[in-house]
């Protein structure tokens, strides 16, 4: 080992500049050693702190591995193997935690403590001796300055002796402090080298002991276990790669579709509209009223569940009931600020929610799906087959006819549709007993006429210069001469919804079924505009009159009305069956469906009263008794009891009821 520089104690008393210069070098070295020791201690304390944190971390990890079993995972497939593996690793972590705790104790005793002792003992001692040496040197310098200022002429032996004694004491104190200081600086050169080696030896021994015990603990007992766990992880990795390849292929296939699917409103001509849906789901915009005239639209997720329409906001756990669809009606509505809107109404006809679809395809499919659900098809044994059957019939039956000139053509097409429907019966099995009952009332494929009542302008044009034959076989006369002689005259505001041929007039069910098919057809074809007319009921005829021109649009003999009824739930719907003789000698039956501003039962009551008047006209006494039970108007006409319409034949109030909804 090379020799170490040191301060000579013999030169301490002389305190020469050379000695002072060498002393400054030792002092500088001691200051550098102090700074380095502080940094070294911080680094070793960090290692010790990390080891302590490792103990706490392994302890926390062991607890967390055991907590996996207590987690309520929604998808717990394969968790048994994971739980058993984690339990084993938890035990391993507990054993490892014991080793880490022991290593942390060894690092504290053999690495951190020696450095702290070196700094607190040796470096602090050198710093203290340096301060004492400085004080002694200053005191010696002051006494020497005092001694040097003694006078030469007037010497005072007593003062001189006192000052000399003071100098000797200061010089002795300086000599003693310098010797102690020099010895400490010389010893520090040896102690610093030991202080650097001892902590590292302790750190190395602690780590070696930790590794040896860890190897003895885990090398034999964990080899087989780690091998099995590794095999399990590799098998899972293989499954993951196979699944990833499948998902990658599926992703490429999904992204290779036509770009038109991303467009909200695709071309309806190229898209297939499924009209046989018995359930539907997707996003719709719901209209909410925020004031008297202001509304807002909210985008929500809607889906059908049985006979219910459910709504689920984004982020919600489950959906809530928004409306019961059984026996409801749905139809397109015209919103000023939105396209593809439709309204769902209650069975009683009360308007309900208004929804907006994002495309025409979604718009039509939602209307068809709600229409199918409202018929309670979902309760049948084979709802898909029933929906296909009913919608085939409805699609064949909803070809609008614009004039009576096409009536014969419609009859031919009706017969063709019947034949087609017969062929379909061989393919689609009957699901419920309700289908034969419907076919007994209305033949499948019967066309529905939405504009059987001609506009007044067309009527006037066709009557210019010659008399026009009414499509119903009645001659037209704008003066209504029978109204002058009729004992009954009642006026109602109605809107024609549609008409169709029927097979029987022995039951009111035929009218109810016609109402359902007419409203369904309007919903399928989005036909929701109607023409308002005045229905005049006399004791002889039923007349439809244009409210603006007072021109008669259609006339029916009251004796030809063989059945009439109002809807059981939507009181504004009313219909009647007309029996008309054909040129072949047979008779045809047709039902006409209207929507009235007042209750349909009042119209039925007026028709029934008119038919009673016709019957009792043969018996004067019975006629007199009937007339006495009815009030008279100023012009001698009989009106209905408890009715608020104008019974004088004038124009009724111009109030317009809400449009019937399919």
- Residue-level pLDDT at 1: 46
Q: How far apart are CA 383 and CA 373, in angstroms?
A: 10
Q: How many CB atoms lie within 10 A of CB 280?
A: 20
Contact criterion met (CB below 8 Å) for 62 and 94 = yes
519 located within any domain: yes
Q: Alpha carbon of 632 to those of 95, 354, 490, 493, 540: distances in Å?
A: 109, 45, 12, 21, 18
Contact criterion met (CB below 8 Å) for 606 and 543 = no
SS3 string, 186-210, reads HHHHHHHHHHHHHHHHHHHHHHHHH
Q: How far apart are CA 589 and CA 502, in angstroms?
A: 6
The verdict on 204 and 304 lying in the same domain is no
28 located within any domain: yes
The region that residue 343 occupies, defined by phi over 0 for left and psi between -120 and 50 for alpha, beta otherwise, is beta
The verdict on 380 and 498 lying in the same domain is no
392, 408, 436 - which closes a domain = 392
118 located within any domain: yes
The residues, any chain, with a CB within 8 Å of residue 217's CB and separated by 6 or more, are: 95, 99
- Residue-level pLDDT at 44: 93
The verdict on 344 and 490 lying in the same domain is no
Task: Copy the structure tokens of residue 386.
Answer: 């029933």
The verdict on 212 and 301 lying in the same domain is no
Nearest to 527 by CA among 392, 356, 367, 387: 367
Q: How far apart are CA 320 and CA 535, in angstroms?
A: 44
How far from chain centre, in Å, is Cα 374?
Answer: 26
For residue 93, the domain's CATH number is 1.20.1270.60
The residues, any chain, with a CB within 8 Å of residue 393's CB and separated by 6 or more, are: 421, 444, 445
**What is the three-class DSSP state of 497?**
strand
- Residue-level pLDDT at 41: 94
The verdict on 25 and 170 lying in the same domain is yes
> Tokens 């700094």 belong to which residue?
119
Q: Give me the sign of the Cα torsion angle 11, 17, 18, 19.
A: positive
Contact criterion met (CB below 8 Å) for 451 and 402 = yes
Q: How far apart are CA 41 and CA 361, in angstroms?
A: 77
Q: Give me the sign of the Cα torsion angle 279, 285, 288, 294.
A: negative
Q: How many CB atoms lie within 10 A of CB 527?
A: 20
Q: Which domain holds residue 554?
A: 448-453+485-629
User: Starting at the edge strand that comes first in sequence, how are the strands of the sheet with 541-545 ordered?
Assistant: 552-557, 541-545, 532-538, 489-502, 587-596, 573-581, 561-566
The verdict on 71 and 197 lying in the same domain is yes
The residues, any chain, with a CB within 8 Å of residue 81's CB and separated by 6 or more, are: 232
- Residue-level pLDDT at 218: 76
What angle, rounded to 10 degrees, do the helices at 124-148 and 17-67 form? Answer: 160
Burial of residue 464, with CB atoms counted within 10 A of its CB: 0-12 exposed, 13-18 middle, 19 or more buried: exposed
Q: How far apart are CA 487 and CA 206, in angstroms?
A: 123
Task: Copy the structure tokens of residue 557.
Answer: 């003999």
Task: Copy the structure tokens of residue 343.
Answer: 């309204």
Q: How many CB atoms lie within 10 A of CB 552?
A: 23
269 located within any domain: no
The verdict on 290 and 142 lying in the same domain is no
What is the 8-class DSSP label of residue 293?
Answer: S
What pLDDT digit, counting tens, does each position of 251-266 carry?
Answer: 988 888 777 777 777 6
Q: How far apart are CA 24 and CA 4, in angstroms?
A: 16
The verdict on 210 and 350 lying in the same domain is no
319 located within any domain: yes
The residues, any chain, with a CB within 8 Å of residue 458's CB and separated by 6 or more, are: none
How far from chain centre, in Å, is Cα 175?
Answer: 92
What angle, rounded to 10 degrees, do the helices at 17-67 and 79-107 form? Answer: 160
**What is the three-class DSSP state of 452?**
coil
Compute the C-alpha angle 543/547/549, nearest 5°: 100
192, 218, 244 - which closes a domain = 218
The verdict on 203 and 83 lying in the same domain is yes
597 located within any domain: yes
The residues, any chain, with a CB within 8 Å of residue 100's CB and separated by 6 or more, are: 51, 54, 55, 58, 210
The verdict on 90 and 195 lying in the same domain is yes
Q: How far apart are CA 385 and CA 572, in angstroms?
A: 33
The verdict on 297 and 175 lying in the same domain is no
503 located within any domain: yes
The dihedrals phi and psi of 504, each to the nearest 5 degrees, come to -150, 160
228 located within any domain: no
The verdict on 163 and 19 lying in the same domain is yes
For residue 352, the domain's CATH number is 2.30.29.30
Compute the C-alpha angle 482/485/488, nearest 5°: 90
Nearest to 536 by CA among 603, 617, 459, 630: 603
Beta strands in 351-448 (DSSP E): 351-356
Total domains in the chain come to 3
The dihedrals phi and psi of 619, each to the nearest 5 degrees, come to -120, 105
What pLDDT digit, counting tens, does each position of 178-187 carry?
Answer: 999 999 999 9
Q: How many CB atoms lie within 10 A of CB 238?
A: 10
Contact criterion met (CB below 8 Å) for 475 and 482 = no
Q: How far apart are CA 100 and CA 52, in angstroms?
A: 8
Low-confidence ranges of the chain (pLDDT < 70): 1-4, 76-78, 220, 266-271, 391-437, 452-486, 526, 528-529, 618-662
- Residue-level pLDDT at 114: 93
Give per-residue burial for 207-219: e unless 16+ CB within 10 Å, then b: eeebeeeeeeebe
């Amino acid at each position: 080992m090379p020799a170490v520089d040191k301060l000579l104690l013999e030169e301490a008393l002389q305190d020469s500049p050379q000695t002072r210069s060498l002393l400054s070098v030792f002092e500088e070295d001691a200051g550098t050693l102090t700074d380095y020791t502080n940094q070294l201690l911080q680094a070793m304390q960090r290692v010790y702190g990390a080891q302590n944190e490792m103990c706490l971390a392994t302890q926390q990890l062991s607890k967390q591995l055991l907590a996996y079993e207590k987690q309520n995972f929604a998808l717990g497939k394969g968790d048994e193997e994971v739980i058993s593996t984690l339990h084993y690793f938890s035990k391993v972590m507990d054993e490892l935690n014991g080793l880490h705790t022991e290593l942390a104790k060894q690092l504290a005793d053999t690495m951190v403590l020696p450095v702290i002792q070196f700094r607190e003992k040796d470096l602090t001692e050198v710093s203290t001796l340096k301060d004492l040496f400085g004080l002694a040197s200053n005191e010696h310098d002051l006494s020497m300055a005092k001694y040097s200022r003694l006078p030469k002429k007037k010497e005072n032996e007593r003062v001189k002796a006192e000052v000399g004694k003071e100098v000797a004491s200061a010089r002795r104190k300086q000599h003693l402090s310098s010797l102690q200081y020099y010895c400490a600086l010389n010893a520090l050169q040896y102690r610093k080298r030991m202080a650097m080696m001892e902590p590292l030896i302790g750190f190395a021994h602690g780590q070696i002991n930790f590794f040896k015990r860890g190897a003895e603990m885990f090398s034999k007992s964990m080899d087989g276990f780690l091998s099995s766990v590794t095999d399990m992880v590799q098998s899972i990795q293989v499954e993951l790669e196979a699944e990833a390849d499948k998902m990658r292929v599926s992703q490429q296939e999904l992204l290779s579709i036509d770009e038109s699917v991303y467009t909200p409103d695709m071309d309806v001509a190229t898209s297939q509209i499924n009209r046989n849906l018995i359930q539907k789901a997707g996003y719709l915009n719901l209209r909410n009223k925020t004031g008297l005239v202001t509304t807002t639209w909210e985008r929500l997720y809607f889906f059908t569940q049985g006979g219910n329409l459910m709504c689920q906001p984004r982020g919600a756990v489950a959906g809530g009931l928004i409306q019961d669809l059984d026996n409801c009606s749905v139809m397109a509505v015209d919103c000023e600020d939105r396209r593809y809107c439709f309204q769902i109404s209650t069975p009683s006809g009360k308007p309900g929610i208004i929804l907006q679809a994002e495309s025409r395809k979604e718009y039509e499919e939602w209307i068809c799906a709600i229409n199918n659900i409202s018929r309670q098809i979902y309760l049948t044994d084979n709802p898909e087959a029933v929906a296909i059957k009913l919608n085939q019939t409805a699609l064949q039956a909803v070809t609008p006819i614009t004039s009576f000139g096409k009536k014969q053509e419609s009859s031919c097409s009706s017969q063709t549709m019947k034949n087609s429907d017969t062929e379909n019966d061989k393919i689609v099995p009957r699901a419920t007993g309700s289908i034969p009952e419907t076919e007994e009332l209305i033949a499948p494929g019967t066309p529905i006429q939405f504009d059987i009542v001609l506009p007044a302008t067309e009527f006037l044009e066709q009557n210019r210069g010659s008399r026009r034959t009414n499509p119903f076989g009645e001659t037209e006369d704008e003066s209504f001469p029978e109204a002058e002689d009729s004992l009954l005259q009642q006026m109602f505001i109605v809107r024609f919804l549609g008409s169709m041929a029927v097979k029987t007039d022995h039951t009111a069910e035929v009218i109810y079924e016609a109402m359902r098919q007419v409203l369904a057809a309007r919903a399928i074809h989005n036909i929701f505009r109607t023409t308002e007319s005045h229905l005049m009921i006399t004791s002889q005829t039923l007349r439809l009159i244009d409210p603006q021109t007072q021109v008669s649009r259609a006339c029916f003999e009251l004796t030809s009305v063989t059945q009439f009824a109002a809807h059981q739930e939507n009181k504004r719907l009313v219909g009647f069956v007309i029996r008309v003789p054909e040129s072949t000698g047979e008779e045809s039956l047709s039902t006409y469906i209207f929507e009235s501003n007042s209750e349909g039962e009042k119209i039925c009551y007026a028709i029934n009263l008119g038919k009673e008047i016709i019957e009792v006209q043969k018996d004067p006494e019975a006629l007199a008794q009937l007339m006495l039970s009815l009030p008279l108007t100023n012009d001698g006409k009989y009106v209905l009891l408890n009715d608020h319409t104008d019974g004088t034949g004038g124009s009724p109030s111009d109030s317009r009821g809400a449009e019937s909804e399919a």
